[in-house]
Structure formats: structure tokens, C-alpha cells
Amino acid sequence: MRIDVVTLFPELFEGFLAIGMVGRGLASGALAVRTRSPREFGLGRHRSVDDTPYGGGSGMVMRVDCIVRCLEALDEAAAEGAPPGAEGPAPAPRAHRVLLTPQGQPFRQEKAIELAARPAVALVCGRYEGFDERVRAFVDEEISLGDFVMTGGEVAAMAVIDACVRLLPGVLGNAVSAEHESHSPAMSGLLEYPQYTRPVEFRGHKVPEVLQQGNHAAIARWRRAQAEQRTAERRPDLWRKARGGEPAPSPLPSPPTKDGGEARR
């Protein structure tokens, strides 16, 4: 998978791309990331990429020409570097262009799965007061991290890259890890069930007995019940979506401890 990032601050990605799952994906070849600044296509001696808005108003707006030229240059460079096919140079895929903006659709796991399946994605990071409206005619979709505004799209781009790379084959040490987790298809869109490890008891908080007994059928039932209850309590919107509008169930009792009492929440 190739991810291109249009950003005024490519240096922000240096540390992010060097470590963790993203670094592993790059090292394995499962992921390739390129950053490019629209300032390379800026105007005048100062390589300006913004201007005052028509009609007046505060702040500066990113120019459409600089953004589009940057996107096109990334696609052209990818085409030039594409390996030859059986009958000559193989055309590199045009990147699926994503505008990162608080006006976009909320970024969800389903979208991460969709993007991770694409051969090439371009993420466009904004700054200042946003984009010239005409930029939207040259992108394929708009994505938002949520109903809030940041100073730029770089953090959003990192979130999208991180969510996608862990879905690429061979990046996670155990591919099953990405199956039974919050928002995954295997969980029917529910939140993940509680997880425990050693020690068995820590400051009065104990691992539920059912997880210690080795009865896999009982463990599966417990985990499903906990996932449903956790989703109903914390994200009733996800519960209604998963259950077709069904109301949330009554609260489950806390998991029992070894002494027969209830674990603290």
C-alpha cells in the first residue's frame, strides 16, 4: 500500500514513521509513505500557498492550485517509478484522494478497512482557515476524526496511517489480533470485552473465575456478554446500530471474585 501525504510540515512525520507498527510496515515493504509539501508549488519568492478569502473574513485560505499541483506531482512521480510490466511500464494507480477536514465523514473502522485495501491513498492536510472550496472538486472524499477542530490535518493523517497499517498482511505479529477487537466485523461492531493478565489479584481487583478455568465455551459466552454490556453502557449508539434499534439490556452484575464477592469497578 502506498500512502502520500500533502503537508506543509513533512518533518512532523519523521519520528512517527520510524517506530512501532508503522515502522515495521515500512521495513517489511507492506507500506510505503511519501510526504510532499505544497510549498514546492507555491507562488513568488516566498513560495506562498495561501491567500486572503474573497468576500472578506479573518485568516488565510490554502490555494487550490498549489494543493492540486502537489497531488498531481505525487501521482506523476509514482507513475515514473512504477516497475515495468510484461508489455512495458506498468501504470501506477492514481491515489485515492482524501481531504482531512472537520467537515468530513467520521473516520471509523469500516473506513480504515476500506482504505487499507486500496493500492494508493493520498491524505491532504490543511492549515490556516481551511481550503479553497474548489479543492473538493479534485478529491474523492472527506474524512474527519471527530466534531472538533485542530490547527492542521497532520495528526489526523497519522491516525489514518496508523489505523490502516495494522490491517496490512504481515504487519501485526498475530493477524487474529485485528479480528476480535472493538468495532471489528468479528465483534459485530461492538466494543471489545475486558482483557486480563497476571497477576491474578492486584490490590483487591481479581481476574474473573471463568477466565481461569479453561472452559472455552464458557469463556466465549462470558466475553460476548461483557462486550454487549460494555457497548450498551458506554456506546448506546453502537449498540442500537448493531441491534437494529433494540434498547440496551439491563446492567450485568460485576464479575465474581474468588471469595464470592463482587469485583470493584
Q: Tell me: the pLDDT tens digits for 142-167?
A: 999 999 999 999 999 999 999 999 99
Question: What pLDDT, on the 0 to 100 scale, is given for residue 264?
Answer: 42
Helix, strand, coil share (%) of the chain residues, nearest 5: 40, 20, 45
Q: Can you tell me the mean pLDDT for 76-89?
A: 75
Tell whether the model's pLDDT for residue 101 goes beyond 50. yes
Pairing of strands 88-89, 61-62: unpaired
Region for residue 152 given its phi and psi (left: phi exceeds 0; alpha: psi -120 to 50; beta: otherwise): beta
Residues 210 and 218: beta-carbon distance below 8 Å: yes
**Nearest CA to 252 among 237, 220, 230?**
230
Q: Can you tell me the mean pLDDT for 176-186?
A: 80
Question: What pLDDT, on the 0 to 100 scale, is given for residue 253?
Answer: 54
Query: Where are the alpha helices (H) located in 2-44, listed in sequence order?
Result: 14-18, 20-28
Q: Can you tell me the mean pLDDT for 12-22?
A: 97
For 24, the grid coordinates are 515495521
Residues 115 and 132: beta-carbon distance below 8 Å: no
Question: What pLDDT, on the 0 to 100 scale, is given for residue 86?
Answer: 53
Domains, the chain, in order of start with CATH, read 2-165 (3.40.1280.10), 182-242 (1.10.1270.20)
Question: What pLDDT, on the 0 to 100 scale, is given for residue 185?
Answer: 86
Query: Over pLDDT 70: what percentage of the chain?
Result: 89
**Nearest CA to 60 among 131, 128, 155, 145?**
128
Res. 28 pLDDT band, cuts 50 70 90: very high
From residue 85, alpha-carbon distances to 1, 92, 179 in Å are 18, 11, 35
Tell whether the model's pLDDT for residue 175 goes beyond 90. no
Question: What pLDDT, on the 0 to 100 scale, is given for residue 263?
Answer: 44
Distance CA 74, CA 72 (A): 5
Tell whether the model's pLDDT for residue 85 goes beyond 70. no
Distance CA 240, CA 143 (A): 23
For 20, the grid coordinates are 512501532
Res. 84 pLDDT band, cuts 50 70 90: low
Res. 262 pLDDT band, cuts 50 70 90: very low
Burial class, 233, CB count within 10 angstroms (exposed 0-12 / middle 13-18 / buried 19+):
middle
Distance from the Cα of residue 19 to its chain's centroid: 17
From residue 233, alpha-carbon distances to 58, 65, 264 in Å are 43, 48, 17
Question: What pLDDT, on the 0 to 100 scale, is given for residue 240?
Answer: 92
Question: What pLDDT, on the 0 to 100 scale, is given for residue 244?
Answer: 84
Distance CA 17, CA 23 (A): 5
